[in-house]
Structures are given as C-alpha cells and as structure tokens.
Amino acid sequence: MPIIVSPNLPVNAVRVSLHPPHFSLPLYGGKVSAAQSRWASAAQDYMDDDFGVLGGRLDLNVRFVTNPPSTFVMPVDGDSMIKAGLFPGTIAIIDKNADAKSGSIVVVWYGDKYIVKRLYIKGNIVKLRSEHPKIREYPPILFKGDDELVIWGVVKHGINTY
C-alpha cells in the first residue's frame, strides 16, 4: 500500500513566516481548572517557567512552530473531527515533515479535496477515521492493497476562538 507525501500546497494553506517577529506573552503559574469551582490560592498567581521560557514568558512561535520551513496553517471546515478539538474555523497548524504514524491526525488529498482525519495503520490496511459523537454518520475511509494514500501533513496543534 503506497503512502505518498504530497509536495503540493493547498490553495487555503498559508506558510508560517521563517523569521517571525518575537512576541511573547506573560506565562502565569498554577493551572486553570475545568473541574468544579473552588477558591484559588493567592500563591498561584505568579510567573512560571514550566515552558522553558526565560522570565516566565511564552513565545507562541517557539511553542507551536517547531519546523518553520515545513509548517503551514489551514482553517478547518466541517465537523467530523470535533472530538479531537478541530471545530469549524479551527486554525490547524500542520507540519509537512512530521512522521505520520498510526494515531496521528493527518491532512490528506482524498477525491478532489484535502481532508483531515485520524490515521490508523495495521499491517497493509490503513484507515482514516473521523472523531465525531455521531461516528456512524462518518464511516471510515479504508485503503488496502494497491490503493494510494496521499498525506499532505500532520496536524500538530489547533487554535480555536471562543
């Protein structure tokens, strides 16, 4: 089963800057709980260096773009990957040089468009699966034998706006 990495650039993909300006945000310690509410300790309100950034600041380029020459961003369209955190309008950060492994979220050329799915590989069988609560409405795409799968890149992050 041939798996090909595509050199083509989708029309709505944007390459990240190879020399972005440095812009960092203050990084505060403690965590934001998504569990039931409780009073936070005043000691939690301090600058944190957990991300390895000097002075408790986070540079989003350093955090999200590990390989600038092969990193692109594309908006997500559709709802088939919402359980993976990719909603309509999510900005997907994609690395074309990252290794696509079983379990990776990949962008592939399928039919006449680019799609984003979870990749599963078992022997000679490759599946692309959606991640949606109504999974039966989104059947897997199966590749086997001499079928050709064209992988464009691996989704490394998703940025959502609320």
CB count in 10 Å sphere of residue 90: 22
pLDDT reported for residue 145:
79
Question: Among 80, 96, 104, 130, which one carries the catalytic annotation?
Answer: 80
In percent, the amount of the chain with pLDDT more than 70 equals 67
Q: What average pLDDT does the chain have?
A: 80
Number of domains in the chain: 2
The answer to whether the beta carbons of residues 68 and 17 sit under 8 Å apart is yes
Q: Is the pLDDT of residue 60 over 70?
A: yes
Whether 17 is catalytic is no
Sole residue written with tokens 């692109």: 72
In percent, the amount of the chain with pLDDT more than 90 equals 44
In angstroms, the first-to-last Cα distance of the chain is 41
Q: Is the pLDDT of residue 114 over 50?
A: yes
The average pLDDT across 82-109 equals 95
Residues 99 and 59 in one domain: no
Torsion angle of C-alpha atoms 71, 74, 76, 80, degrees rounded to 10 = -40
Residues 77 and 58 in one domain: no
Residues 80 and 145 in one domain: yes
Who has greater pLDDT, 140 or 22?
140
Q: Record the pTM.
A: 0.75
Residues 150 and 129 in one domain: yes
Residues 35 and 96 in one domain: no
Residues 6 and 60 in one domain: no
The SS3 of residue 43 is helix
Question: Among 96, 104, 117, 130, which one carries the catalytic annotation?
Answer: 117
CB count in 10 Å sphere of residue 160: 11
Domain that holds residue 109: 1-17+66-162
CATH number for 4: 2.10.109.10
